[in-house]
Amino acid sequence: MARHLAVTPADAPLDPSNEQARRWLEEELTASRYHAQPSILERLNELLDRLLNARPEGGLPGVAVPIAVGLVVAVLALVLWRVLRRDVGRSAGGGSSRALDVPDVPAATLRASARAALERGDLDAAVLDGVRAIARAGVERVLLDDAPGRTAHEVAQLLGVPFPGEHTALADAADAFDAVRYGDRRATAEQARGVLDLDARLAAARPERPTVPTDPPAAAPAPEPVR
C-alpha cells in the first residue's frame, strides 16, 4: 500500500513550507483507495491537521514529511486489515462464538439448496446449507432443542449420542463448516459430498435412544436365624 508523493527528487524542496507540507498530506489522505473507510480517514485527517497547526514556526523539516505520510499509510493498512479479518470472521451473533446460523426453514428446503449448490459447483454453499440441514433435521426429529447460538461442533457432539457411528463424520462436517464460514477457506468437492452423504445417512438412520436404568430388584429378606 506504500505510495510515494507525486514529486521528483529534482523538484522536491529540502525544507517545504508549511502550506506545501499540508497539501502533500491532504493529497495522500484523500487518495481514492482510502475511501472505503471515510470516518476513519476524517479522524486521521483532523488529527494530522492539528499536529501541523501545533508545530513551531519555521516549518517541518524535510525528513518529517515522508515519515508522517509513512505512519499514516501504516495505520490505514492496519485498520483495513483488521476490518477485513473482522468481516471474514463475523458470526451470526456478531461475536467470536461462531454460532451455527440456521435459518428457520425446513430441513428439506436446506437439503435441496445444498444439493443444488453442489450441482452448480458452489461447494462452499453446499457445505454450509448441508450442515444447516443436519442441524434443522435434528430439531425436527426432537433430537436437538431449537436453542439459538449453538455452534456446529456442539450440534455434532449432541447428534453423536443418538448416532454414535457417525461421530467422526459429524466432527468433520463441523470442521468444514467453520473453515468455510469463519476461516476464509474454500470447501473441496470431497467435503461437500461428505456433508450431503452424512445428511442422507442421518435422515435414513434410526436414532438410538438413551436407555433409562431400571430400579434394581428389592433384596430378599434375610432368613431368620435358627434357634
| Angstrom distance (rounded) from CA 75 to CA 4 | 16
Same domain, 114 and 193: yes
Same domain, 83 and 114: no
What is the block-wise mean pLDDT of the chain (227 residues), using blocks of 10 residues? 46 59 66 54 66 54 59 66 48 51 87 96 96 95 88 95 96 96 92 97 90 55 58
pLDDT of residue 77: 67
Domain limits for position 123: 107-204
Same domain, 70 and 154: no
pLDDT of residue 195: 97
Same domain, 111 and 81: no
Judge contact between 156 and 173, C-beta under 8 A.
yes
Same domain, 83 and 111: no
Residue 184 grid cell: 476464509
| 160 falls within a domain | yes
Same domain, 84 and 127: no
Measured on CA atoms in the order 152, 158, 163, 164, is the torsion positive or negative? positive
For residue 201, the tally of other CB atoms under 10 A from its CB is 13
| 96 falls within a domain | no
| 64 falls within a domain | yes
Same domain, 137 and 178: yes
| 55 falls within a domain | yes
| Angstrom distance (rounded) from CA 184 to CA 98 | 13
